[in-house]
Chains A and B, each alone.
Chain A
Amino acid sequence: MSHQGTPGIPGELDLVLRAREGDRDAYAELVRRHSPRLFALCLSMLRGRESAEDAAQEAFVKAWKSLRSFRGGSAFSTWLHRIAVNACQDFLRRNSRIRQESITEDASVDERRLREGEGAPGDCAAKIESADLAEKILARLSPQHRLILVLREVQGFNYDEIAEILDCSLDAVKGRLKRARQSLDENMRHFSSRGGV
């Protein structure tokens, strides 16, 4: 992350400091820079583009209001993602039609499925080649599983950052990631055994 910025282009830290002082133009630039990633994260959890945009907007408005509490101990992006995850959780809680899932998953069920899945070496999922099929497969995962997979594989956050975003321990990150990958792998196998239908 560039704090200093290149000549003519303000760095992130400079923008954050200005935004903290109430500079709306600086904050608008931060929104422009971070919104594609935040929108992708919200979309991964909520699936609908309209809902994802609403939640992402909500997150940016909340972030603006609590900018003064941002101490810079973590990267601005990590801090923003944490706010966005909370906005999505709120959205899921408010909308009962979307499957609501507690942050604390039923680990015992997942562990059992994990052990069952490990007993089938060689029965590998085929490579998924179309974005539509990838979408279908991901739609079968829980929002929490999609979230942690996207944070790691798409957004590229490391374990420490994910722990900060999800407000959980490092061990919890490892456990959730393992279960989410297992679930994704099972779904990929399911779709490849059905010939990609």
Chain B
Amino acid sequence: MNHDEFKAALDEFHDGEMDSSSRDEFESHRRFCRDCREALEARQRTAECLLLSASSAHQGFDPERFSRLVMSRIAGEEDGARVPPWRTVLSWRWWLIPAASLAAAAIALWLSWGPADRGSLAADILTQQRGGIMMMDWLDEPTASSIGDLESSALAVR
């Protein structure tokens, strides 16, 4: 191997990924090659910088507390997902959809088939709708007709 090849394989040497015969060659090359020696020293310095930075990483980290947190998250997710069937049936959410559907059906029946005097709510709703139309009478003729035009053009757009 020549200098350029050694230089290209510097990382493999530094990382211990070089086969033993190439390693021996490199060892004897770097003894007289200042450039390779300095490049290797630079690798060593970057490694030391990383180790120095990592040395403070574990300060204040408690594996025991961390493990408890992880296990309580696991327990929370798994035990929460395993709700017994009887609890599901008793849960108010289980009854909510059918109850709401029944109530809606009852109101619909009451409104459409009930006697006129009991249908006051329906009458109120109708009055409010008509009120909107009757408001037109309070406005002067051109304004009312332009609002009517606007409404009809909005309907056309839809």
- Our pick among A28, A33, A188 for the contact of B45 (Cβ within 8 Å) is A188
Q: Which A residues touch B54, using CB under 8 A? A: 40, 44, 150, 154
Size of the chain B interface, CB-CB below 8 angstroms: 39
- SS class of chain B's interface: helix, strand, loop or mixed? helix
Q: Is the CB of B53 within 8 A of A138?
A: yes
Q: Judging by beta carbons under 8 Å apart, are A28 and B71 in contact?
A: yes
Q: Does B46 lie within 8 Å of A150, measured CB to CB? A: no
Contact status A57-B52, CB under 8 Å = no
B32 at the interface (CB under 8 A from A): no
Q: A159-B15, A184-B46 are in contact. Are A32 and B56 (CB under 8 A)?
A: no
B38 within 8 A of A: yes
In contact, A131 and B52 (Cβ under 8 angstroms): yes
* Min distance, Cβ A170 to any Cβ of chain B, angstroms: 9
Q: Tell me, rounded to whole Å, the shortest Cβ–Cβ distance linking B28 to chain A.
A: 21
CB < 8 Å neighbour of A57 from B55, B60, B69: B69
Q: Are A32 and B64 CB-contacts (below 8 A) given A61-B73, A181-B43?
A: yes
Please tell me if the beta carbons of A121 and B35 are within 8 angstroms of each other in the complex: yes
Using a CB–CB cutoff of 8 Å, the interface residues on chain B facing chain A are 11-12, 15-17, 35, 38-39, 41-43, 45-58, 60-61, 63-64, 66-71, 73-75, 77
Which residues of chain B are near A107, meaning CB under 8 Å?
Answer: none
Q: Are B49 and A128 in contact (CB under 8 A)?
A: yes
Considering the chains assembled together, what is the distance between the CA atoms of A138 and B48 in angstroms? 12
* A174 with B11, Cβ < 8 A, contacts A31-B70, A134-B53 known: yes
| A residues neighboring B (CB under 8 Å) | 24, 27-29, 31-33, 35-36, 39-40, 43-44, 49, 53, 56-57, 60-61, 64, 121-122, 124-131, 134-135, 137-138, 149-150, 152-154, 158-159, 174, 177-178, 181, 184-185, 188
Chain A residues with CB under 8 Å of B47's CB are 153
Cross-chain contact B11 with A127 (CB below 8 angstroms): no
Q: Write out the residue numbers on chain B whose beta carbons fall within 8 Å of the beta carbon of A39.
A: 57-58, 61, 66
Q: In whole angstroms, how far apart are the Cα atoms of A153 and B52 in the complex?
A: 11
User: With A and B bound together, what is the CA distance between A64 and B53 in angstroms?
Assistant: 30
User: CA separation between A149 and B46, bound complex, in Å?
Assistant: 9
26 A–B pairs (Cβ distance < 8 Å), ordered by A = A24-B71, A27-B74, A28-B67, A28-B70, A32-B63, A36-B58, A39-B58, A39-B61, A40-B57, A40-B58, A53-B66, A57-B70, A61-B70, A61-B73, A121-B38, A125-B46, A127-B45, A131-B52, A134-B53, A137-B53, A138-B49, A138-B50, A153-B50, A154-B51, A158-B17, A188-B45
